[in-house]
Chains A and B, each alone.
Chain A
């Protein structure tokens, strides 16, 4: 431990000696304090707070993320290139201790800088919102400056029904040859699935749909606990844009005295949020919600199974949620540090930095990778017409596509796993980052991905012949 501590101290000393920590601290504070002066919000208190949180936290992530990557590549690779490491490893210290000491040292710096920048953002948000009218503050307290957990109705598994219907219908509609065509069979089943989904999703005029959503945490809700419904629906009527429709809502068990009923004029294709009383839950934590499409509406309404209705309820305060968000950022920096150190364990500083930044750019291009995997080709072109006939180019395309799509699919899985834990979006939407979420993020990013990077880095660094680096100078 003493040896590792010595490396941590050396890393800190180097950062202080090169004034890196001061430069980063000033840059972060200036950025966080200056951004609100130049950004344009949509004119609402909600929009102002959301954009403030999004842009400042994104700026912190970008600045600290790049600095972390640069520093982790530099601190190890430069030490090797400048022959300081050769002196260090002659001391009674294991190579893994050097590697771990560097990681802990950089993470210590990150913790200090993140606390400073995060504290500034938190203070800024509180100061700015305190100046708003009370009514606006109340909206923020309910929608943005809060950690809201979410519950949805369990999506029914249609698979047994689909299989049953397929076995009944397919022999009458498909020939034996068609039954062998995998693509056709999948298409047929997809149609059956959509028909079953439509039965649950579509509310015809004069009809009603009921949801039963389990929220076990509701047993502890006080009567003033913040609970709201988030709804979205579409209309079957063709329109040039979203249109408002009157809808009738009943929240709570029908025979319960706590049931509330109301009419709301809501627009199609848009998420709407409205508060509901906390005592509408049944003792077992079930919430019954009914939506009626009044018969005077000329169109059927469609509430998607996946995101048609969601219950949002207060899980934690903004302060705790914000702290957990920062903890996830810290987790990301841990992974970046491990990545940078792993690259620097066997590459020169410039090569390691180049490779890491390249990886970062690829990670940020998740949208493009997703498109490629969806299109099943990397040769997407604006020209609709493909040259006809077999050619050598077509063959090359097929080979390249086969290889690249597989690589991209794996990369996409990794990127999606990391991106799923992004705290910025949750914080600006007032969604809670739960302890479970936080634990999963650390488990995946530190234990799995960080573990792989650390393992590769430590093994390579331990086996590396450090004297060869001198010959390249």
Chain B
């Protein structure tokens, strides 16, 4: 370089620096406005590796994460899943503040990858991976992001709780199997909050460290919405939804997501009402679900809250869902031989949705309530549209009623209920004939009937049980065998109490 060029370059450098000085501020402002960059604020509880990737890598972070995304897509297309967990871990650490990345990765593992495996145990592994990514990683760094709580709740409510995946029963059994040793049939929250013995301490540790569940929060959720069955996935959906609302209430920038969290809570409450009771099937060591009628008042309260907060355009939808719930509750109470509560809820329906009832059920408003007719109409509705859970619950209730009527000598009514149960079963099986086996089809009718009989005999008073055994022509040893068995597994369906609907 010759000496006479140096001053020219020097001047050029000064001019460029001056240009940068004047334009930098405007550029930085535009970057903020266009959300082209995140501010370099540190994440909460970030380990050194995460701090390194977010700060030290600077602009290279985008390049590296793009490469990892490409590799992940390529591997997924080639159906090579063994790197997925590692790649998802790296990608989320490269983009730790971008919730959509975490949601996508968890969704991908839980929903897209899991269904590629025909073996239910393999699927369960991937569903767990999806949940673990959100629960164990994201919440550690960004506890104020409502979207993640919603996704977590949704994985429990929809992936594990709903019946869209034909391995859903396996997920429920596996989850119940994991929760059972820690929580038992009914959790002793106080023992878990302040454990005294080594065994209690170990259970509390597992709950906190492995499942990230706080017993104090569980107790609070149970008080608000329960008694809940903590071995079922929808209860955990309620837990994460409620916790999300609590933890993120100050995150006003993400306020629009609060409604999603509330929705997941009340939808899960509805599910818990329909099948929120876990019954252990001792014959094949599996679990079955049954309605949890005792939370009716709390489900109703959740609907009322949702109705109060709904925007004008959503109000009618929520009101419609509320009416459907009330009709379901009345039917279920009636069919479970709790006519007083059914009558209370029918009065409540008449008070709060009078206009609706006047047009659809004039006889109810006029006071001439015919429960049989009302229930039959609901059954007819369900036969046309009801899902597996609602239908099985109805069939069980009808069979329960059938045994009761038989025991008290009302043979005609007993035959009627049995015929109705069989008819509902047949219609549902015909309706779901084209669906995948094991996903939405019901267990054999005789199996349902024997389970209901067993349950009825365990709970019935001795004279009723004796009369029923005699009416069915069963040997008296049936009762002896029952009494020789261990006491029935307590469930969240505590002895019936009078439910006082909110006036």
Chain A residues in the interface with B (C-beta under 8 A): 39-44, 46-47, 50-51, 54-55, 241-244, 265-267, 269-272, 298, 367, 428
CA distance A261 to B150 in the complex (A): 47
Write the nearest CB–CB distance from A3 to chain B, whole angstroms.
44
A44 near B117 (CB under 8 angstroms)? no
Shortest CB distance A213–B (Å)? 21
Interface of B with A (CB < 8 Å)? 70, 74, 79, 81-86, 89, 111-112, 115-118, 122, 125-126, 128-129, 166, 434, 436
B159 shortest CB reach to chain A, Å? 12
Task: Report the separation of the CA atoms of residues A40 and B84 in the bound assembly, to the nearest whole angstrom.
Answer: 9
Question: Which residue among B82, B89, B126 has the maximum number of chain A CB atoms within 10 Å of its CB?
Answer: B82
**Which residue of chain B has its CB nearest to the CB of A48?**
B82
- Report the nearest B residue to A39, measured CB to CB: B86
Quote the shortest CB–CB distance from B69 to chain A (angstroms): 12
Q: How far is the CA of A147 from the CA of B85 in the complex (A)?
A: 26
| Contact yes or no, A271 B79, CB < 8 A | yes
Contacts of B434 in A (CB 8 A): 298
- Are B70 and A244 interface neighbours, CB within 8 A? no
Task: Tell me if A41 and B115 are in contact (CB < 8 A).
Answer: no
Q: Which residue of A lies closest to B81 (CB)?
A: A42
What are 16 inter-chain pairs, A to B, with CB distance below 8 A?
A: A40-B89, A41-B86, A42-B84, A43-B125, A44-B82, A44-B125, A47-B82, A51-B83, A51-B86, A55-B86, A243-B436, A244-B166, A267-B118, A270-B117, A367-B70, A428-B82
Are A41 and B85 within 8 A (Cβ)? yes
Chain A positions within 8 Å of B82 at CB level: 41-42, 44, 46-47, 50-51, 54, 428
**Residues of chain B within 8 A of A242, CB atoms compared:** 115-116
Q: Which of B83, B118, B125 touches A272 (beta carbons < 8 Å)?
A: B118
Q: Is the CB of A241 within 8 A of B115?
A: yes
Cβ contact within 8 Å between B117 and A267: yes
Please give, as numbers and ranges, the residues of chain A lying within 8 Å of B83 by CB-CB distance.
51, 54
Cβ contact within 8 Å between A47 and B116: no
Inter-chain contact A40/B85, CB cutoff 8 Å: yes
Q: Are B116 and A270 in touch, CB under 8 angstroms?
A: yes
List, in ascending order, chain B residues with CB within 8 A of A267's CB: 115-118
Instruction: List the 7 shortest-distance A-B pairs measured between CB atoms, nearest first.
Output: A47-B82, A50-B82, A270-B116, A267-B118, A40-B85, A40-B86, A241-B115
Q: How far is the CA of A428 from the CA of B81 in the complex (A)?
A: 12
A244 to B170, CA, bound (A): 15
B residues less than 8 Å from A243 (CB atoms): 436
Chain A residues with Cβ below 8 Å from B166 are 244
The answer to whether B79 touches A270 (Cβ under 8 A) is: yes
State the Cβ distance, B359 to closest chain A Cβ, in Å: 38
Give the residue name and chain of the A residue nearest to B79 (CB): A271
Contact status A244-B436, CB under 8 Å: yes
CA distance A367 to B74 in the complex (A): 10
Q: How far is the CA of A273 from the CA of B366 in the complex (A)?
A: 66
Question: Within 8 Å CB of A40, what residues of B?
Answer: 85-86, 89
Question: Closest approach, in angstroms, between the C-beta of B474 and any C-beta of chain A?
Answer: 38
Distance in angstroms between the alpha carbons of A243 and B438 in the assembled complex: 13
Q: Let me know if B116 and A269 touch, CB within 8 A.
A: yes
Report A-chain residues with C-beta under 8 Å of the C-beta of B86: 39-41, 51, 55
Bound together, the chains give a CA A46 to CA B166 distance in angstroms of: 24
Q: How far is the CA of A181 from the CA of B86 in the complex (A)?
A: 51
Residues of chain B with a CB closer than 8 A to A54's CB: 82-83
